[in-house]
Structures are given as C-alpha cells and as structure tokens.
Structure 1
Amino acid sequence: MSGRAGRCCRAAAALLTAVACPYAPPARAGTPPGPAARAPSVVTWAASADRLGEGTAGRGYRLVVHTSVGGSDLRVRFTNAFGDRPLTLDGVHAGLRDRGAALRPGGNRPLTFGGARTVTVPAGAAVWSDPLPGSVPADADLVVSLRTPTAAGPATGHRMAMQTSYTGRGEHTADESGAHWTRTTGSWWYVDSVAVRASAPAAGAVVALGDSLTDGRQSGTDLNRRWPDHLARRLSTAGTAVQGVANQGISGNKLLADGAGQAAIHRLDRDVLSQPGVRTVLLFEGVNDLKAHSGVTAAELIAGYREIARRLHAAGTCAAVATVGPFKGRPEWDPSAEAVRREVNAFLRGAGEFDAVVDFDGVLRSPDDPERMLPSFDGGDHLHPNDRGMRALADAVPPGSLDCARRAARGLPG
C-alpha cells in the first residue's frame, strides 16, 4: 500500500467512511484486522461490483446470499463503487432465511455502522458494518435487507446473481415475514461482500476470479451450483486451512479489456485483494478475450496473466490459474482463436509464475474433439458447463493446491 493510501485508510478508521481507500478488510468498521485479533476475519460470500441501472429513492431490497465458511461477528460490506453521488442506507438488517423472502423467527437483526443505524457511503467507496454478535453457519442462506431513502443516479451491484432476491417498500426491512416483499430481482444491489470471524484460527479464503463460467451462467438458479459453490462444499470437509470461497465472476468479463465489468486486471484490488482473509486467488479468465475477435495475441494474454501473478505475489497472496476451456460450436470460434487458446494453455500448464495450475480445459474438452466441450458437460451453448460440468470443475481443484507458504507475507496465522 502506498503512503498516500495508508494515510487515507488511517483516516477511514476514524471517520468510518473514506473515499480513497474504501476496500480494506474489516476490523473496526473498515480497517484491516490487527495482528492481535483472536481469529481471522474471512470472506464467506462476495459478488463483483458493477454499474447496475439507476438507484430508486425509498426502495427496499431483501437480498439473499449464500455463505461458504461459518463463523461469528458477521460483517457486511455495502458498495457505492460506481455511484456518482453519496448513497445513504438505513433500516439495514441481516438474518438467516426461512423460505422465500421470509426469515427465521427472531433472526432479523439490525446492522449498525459505528453504532449508528444509518450510513452514507461516498461515491466510489464502500463501508463495512459493525460486527453482529452471534454465529452464522456455513452453507446457509443469509438475508440482507436495506432501504435507499434518497438513492439516485448510477447504482452499484451484481447483475447476474443466479439467485432470487426481493424488493418492496423500504419501511419493511425489519419484518421477518415476506408478505410485503412481493417483487423479485435477479441482481444483488449495493452489497458486495460478507465476512465472519472464523472459528479456526488459521482459516483463510480463496477468491475465484473469472467470467460467466465462474458467475454461474447455465447452472441452476437458486440452487447454488456454480463451480465455486461446489468447491466451498468440498473445502468444508477437506481439512484444509482454506475454507471461505468468494465468487468474483462477471458474465462477459475479460482478462485485459473493460466491457462487461472492469477487466480482471483492472479490478484486482477492489474485488480480490480487499477481501478479508484471502489466501489464494484462482484465476479462470481469457475466453471472452478470444471470442471478441479483437486480435488479441497469446503474448498479450500471457503478459496479463504474468502481471496478475506478480501483483498477487507482491500482496503475499497465492496465485493459482485455470486453463481456458474449449468453445468450438460458438459463432465466435475460429481456428485463429483456437490457436491462441492452445498457446495460452501451453504456457499456463508450464508457467512457473503461478503456485498452482488447474487444467479446466482438460476437464471440459471432448476426447473425440478437443476443441469442443464434452457433450455431457455442455449447458447447451458450447461454452458454459451445465450443473454436472460445474461440479466436475470443482472436483478438479486439489484442496491442498489452494494454500502456500506466501500466506506468511500477509500476516495470516500459520
């Protein structure tokens, strides 16, 4: 962190909201956890922020997210990363879901911000809530309710949630009943990260950084069958230190060029390195760069992979990478794009820059035509795996590959 950024983050600890360094992991309402913390704060859910329509004054949102690792002292991060004016939130509550828009009895509790029930998030910034006492289970639906009393201008959120959430009148955020939450939304609004204090003193998290294959397109809506979801369930019984999983996929995202969200190489700080307890990043990007017919070369993509690995290592984070899967059968496929994909994958399989390589191409490709996806894994569009293919990707990730000695550089417990 630069000297200027460090000064800003110290100021943020006092003011609770700071524009220049809004994406630090939580300890005291927006500052990194200190070395004396009794257990690490670990991300248990995340979704990459992007521009998401226009904000609506007085609207209530009841957002359903799914935890990976369990723990205590829940914190939620609220984002105004793409807003052009301050965003005020009030009536913010969190609790475990019963069914639909309803919460478990007695479980919908208010979140505070430096003890206050209302918070204003500056344009371009994010704010963590205070810790909420009590435990949060792994593999559970958490409901975050909020109201935007004066929202206007560009909203921030995650468009393709593959999860049904709810909207309604803002005065009902404290309700446990779902009676007033009659409209649905397929996006997550204003929430981009949830963290808990893990029970294991050495627990950490992996961030899956990717595109629509990571975001979950073609997997079952409301079923949590994206490959990072399957991976989270595997890690919960694997006996490894890496337990949390943060899904930072954006549909249409590219490694190098902005478009559908900021490119992976441009959103690394906000979406990855700001996450609490992140120990490893598993990068699965590149196919949209190839599909764009932009003339991208293997050398350019390789340079991008190398830069991400370098920046992750400089931050003391393990860097894992997955090979680019096949997409023959898509209108965008052609022999020249396939030649670049093969050259990139050959580099990735032998790259010494990464701490681990997972061969997703080897998992997905057909033995009869290696340029094409295995039919039993094809979600129907020759690019996105179905639920069976999503599980196969998760099963291909060796749990032990998600940890490495670099965690000591970030001050994480050994």
Structure 2
Amino acid sequence: MPPRKSLKAMPMLHQPNNPPASSWDRLASTSLMPSACHSRTWLEPMFEHFRHHNAKLITPDNTPLQAVASLDHVTLPGGIRLPIAQTWDNGYLFSGTPLISADNPQAALVNLLSAARSQMNVGAVLFRKVQRHEIFEQILQQVHKQSDIAGFRLFNSHQRAALQCHHEFDHWFNENFSRKRRKEYRRLRNRFAETGNLQSLTWQPCDPVEQWIEEFLLLEAAGWKGRHGTAIASNSEQTAQLRHALPQMAQNGSLLFWKITLDDKPVASMFGFLEQDQVWLGKMAYDETLSQFSPGVLVILDATRDLLTRKDITLADSSADPDHPMINNIWRDRLPVADYLIATPGTSQTKFKALTTLYSARLQARQLAKTAYHKIRKGLKK
C-alpha cells in the first residue's frame, strides 16, 4: 500500500475554527480507537455540503490536537432540544467513535466532554454506534473514579457483522460456508459469466476514482433507492459530499473500492474506508435486473478476498444494521456495538440520572411510534 499523502485542506463553510489539517490527519492515524467517520477527509465535506443542520465539530482547546467529535443536540418532536449532545445523526456517520489521542486518553476524553459542555450547554454526550473496545470502557471507569464525571450508561447494545482478517480467503471460504453453499456461490458466478465478459475489479491508486464514483451513483439510482428517492444521487448535498470526500480519501490512501462489470458495464459496486488497521464498509449498489445472479453477494465475496489478501488490515466492520439479511449470512464474525451516554464534567449524579431517564423515555416513545407506523402501513396494504 502506498504511503499516505498530505492533502490540501478545503475550507469548511460551517466551521471557521476547524483544526489544522495536519493535526487532524495525525490524530486520525494515531487515535486510540480508529474512526474513519471522524477523519478529516470524510467529515469535513459534510460540514461544507450539508446545509441544514446544527451540528458542531467539537475539539478541545489543546495543542497538539487531543480529540475530535461531530455532535448535534438530541431533540424532541417540534425541535425541542434536550441538554444532551449526540453523534451527528445524518446517515453518513455509521460509527460515532470519537478521535481520542492515545497519549493520555483519559485527559483527552475529559477535555472533549468539557468542550461539548461549554460549546453546546449539555449535561451529557451520547456517542452512537461505538465499537465496544475494552480499553475505552476501562478509560470510562477511570475518568468516572478520578475526574468530575458522574458516570456513563450504555444503550442499544447489539452486534453487527464483521470480518476478522486473520486467514487466507480459501481457508475462510471453506470454513465459513457449507459445501452446498460454496457450490451455489460458484454456480452463480459461473452462470453469470456465461452471459458475457464478467470481471471483478479492485480500484487501484493509479486509476481515476471519479469514474468509479459516477458509476456507483448511476447504479444506485437505477434501483429501488432511486425509485423511493433515497439514492445518494437524489440528494444534491449527499452527492456533493461524496464527490468531494472520496477523491480526498483516494489521494491519502484510505479509500477502498470494488466493482463487478459485465461487458464493461458495472453491475455491482461497493466502497469502504481504511483507517489504521481497520476497514468500514460504506455503500453498495447493484443491478437489480440481474438479481438472479446475486451480484451484491458476489461483490461482497470479491471484497472479502481483497481484504484477506492485504497484510495491513486486521478487522473489517460491515457498518450494517444488526439484522441485515445479506451481510449477516456472509460475514459470520460479530462486533459488539453500543451507544455510550457519558456525563460531562460538572454534571451531578442526580442530574445525570434524570438525563438518563429522560433519554430512555425518548427511546421508548420513538419505538412505540415506529411500531404503530408499521402496523398502520401493514393495515393499509391489506
């Protein structure tokens, strides 16, 4: 893998006091817990292109840069703000793990929480979809005992599909699937190849990435997401963010991209992000008119082969929902994930307990509303 390159920073329209690019990049590459979602090349374009938000980039006033988190307020219906900050919930931050300096991480975390309290006037911070690193929970226990932190609580604990990158592909394939399933995957690929010139391609740093991005956008828009208006190409802000972020990530060596083509036409495409020794899958698109050949499954298998070939990767996070029907049946490793609600310095135990109760009630209300909505939709379809 080529060495990372230093990138010229683009201005962030909504954050005039963003940290220097070199400091941010250095923190991302050495952070206690890797977090591609909080890298400058992915997060900065969000602040530039996502116009309608109240999110803030929170960084302590320390040199060198100690921590980075992108936070917004937890709100009730009607936009009523609670005194709780949370990971910016925009659909693109599939991991809320903050960047925390590995050099004195306890102080870095406390300073980050203090910055959130002073800049957002909150009594607690909710870091959403955080991998449950043992070292992070040890640090939380330490700051709870040694600092003015009233406590922390976990919500929404679950597991999502992951890939431990410790074996060669053939070993993984044989151990992961039954003989019948292996035969079926080979049959699908062979049948697919009979329809034309089928190629599996991995993006290389010498390739222009812009073509891969545009092919992905067109492929996704041609499917059900396009019909429902949820494809990236249906949203000008998301499209601009992706066109801005992915070339930056390609330039500094943190972008992974795979596709399958049939007679030179893309039929499946997926990208991911590399930070330190970990990968996160991003978005996938495939030609739904060819679903009998399962192109989405095949591109995941191709990506798996590529990931298991690399020597600089130890873990790949699917970034998927815990009950995702496709990836759960392919990647059998599981990664524990949770939302961490942590008191900010100065919040009393009584107030933190009240905030915890309030947030729990909000979650229950949202779940009841979601259940009622799906029941109504189901009834209307009868």
Report the TM-score when normalising by structure 2: 0.29
Which structure exhibits the higher relative contact order, with contacts defined as CA atoms closer than 8 Å and separated by 6 or more residues?
Answer: 2
Report the TM-score when normalising by structure 1: 0.28
Mark the structure with the bigger radius of gyration. Answer: 2
Q: Which has the higher helix share?
A: 2
